[in-house]
Amino acid sequence: MNSGLYYILAVIFGLALGSFLNAYIWRLKNKRSIWHGRSICTHCKHDLSWLDLIPIFSFLFLRAKCRYCGKKISWQYPLVELFTAFIFALILYTHLNADSGLLYILRDWFFASVLIVIFVYDHRWGYILDSVSLPAIIIAFTVNILLGFNWFSLLSAAIIGSGFFLIQYLLSHGKWIGGGDIRMGALMGFMIGWPNILVALFLSYLIGAGTAIILLFGKKKKMGSTIAMGTFLAIGTLITILWGSQILEWYLKF
């Protein structure tokens, strides 16, 4: 099959899954089961038809407004769909270049989906939900073991990731770091193993610090304000999934 077709399929699948992730995030917030009930407008609660749920197209066709109540549709929806499609295509590209198998592609698509959910939820509401991170920890460890990863590498990385945040939690009595960050550290470790956990933590704090400086200078935040650390941990982990080995090789050359 032509590789171009692979990318088209990855983008289509990414758009569709991005739409699902949006629904999943909303239902998590509103404590509704993802398996029951039709999608509804978040404002007027009207049931949505399939014409309202086509990724990107519906948002553009409806001019970012609900067809039933006229309220604006959040830009989160098309952005998550587009980003998921982009990341899925990028993951496919990295694995095709590395001549990896389909299982590795599916694994990283799953990891990326979990990280997108964590990023959006923590960015909007300031929480990393155990209902997302704990099942993902079990799945990440199981899948990586089945794919032949060293269990000690995965466990060591999880202990380092969670321990790094646990120390901060204990030192600050929970003021610097929340419990969700501790579980997130374990999830990162089980996803990417040792020594990639060090790369992910470094990138997360580097991006977080850079963002905090920009927000301070832009007067969007004040000294002492909190930021959603889970968003940066998700970004750092996703970058490491894509290019962690190359970053390590580049670092070791210096």
Domains of the chain by residue range: 1-99, 104-254
Residue 112 token pair: 């990326």
Distances (CA, A) of 31 to 23, 129, 135, 206, 230: 12, 12, 17, 34, 20
Q: What is the pLDDT at residue 135? A: 96
Q: Round to whole Å and give the CA distance between 80 and 251.
A: 32
Q: What is the pLDDT at residue 225? A: 57
Q: What is the pLDDT at residue 218? A: 67
Q: What percent of the chain has pLDDT over 90?
A: 57
Return the higher-pLDDT residue of 102 and 51: 102
Q: What is the pLDDT at residue 18? A: 95
The strand pairing partners of 47, in sequence order, are 40
Record the pTM: 0.92
Residue type present at position 25: I
Q: Round to whole Å and give the CA distance between 39 and 197.
A: 37
Q: What is the mean pLDDT of residues 168-195?
A: 89
Q: Which residue has the tokens 């407008």?
A: 41
Instruction: Tell me: pLDDT of 59 over 90.
Output: no
For residues 186 and 226, is the Cβ–Cβ distance under 8 A? no
Instruction: Tell me: pLDDT of 119 over 60.
Output: yes
What pLDDT digit, counting tens, does each position of 69-89 carry? 888 888 999 999 999 999 999
Q: What is the pLDDT at residue 220? A: 67
Q: Which residue has the tokens 């927000």?
A: 215
Return the higher-pLDDT residue of 214 and 128: 128
Instruction: Tell me: pLDDT of 19 over 80.
Output: yes
Q: What is the mean pLDDT of residues 195-223?
A: 83
Phi, psi (degrees; rounded to nearest 5) at 230? -60, -30
Distances (CA, A) of 34 to 24, 27, 42: 6, 6, 15
What pLDDT digit, counting tens, does each position of 212-231 carry? 788 777 666 665 556 778 89
Name the most confidently modeled range: 62-66, 67-71, 241-245: 241-245
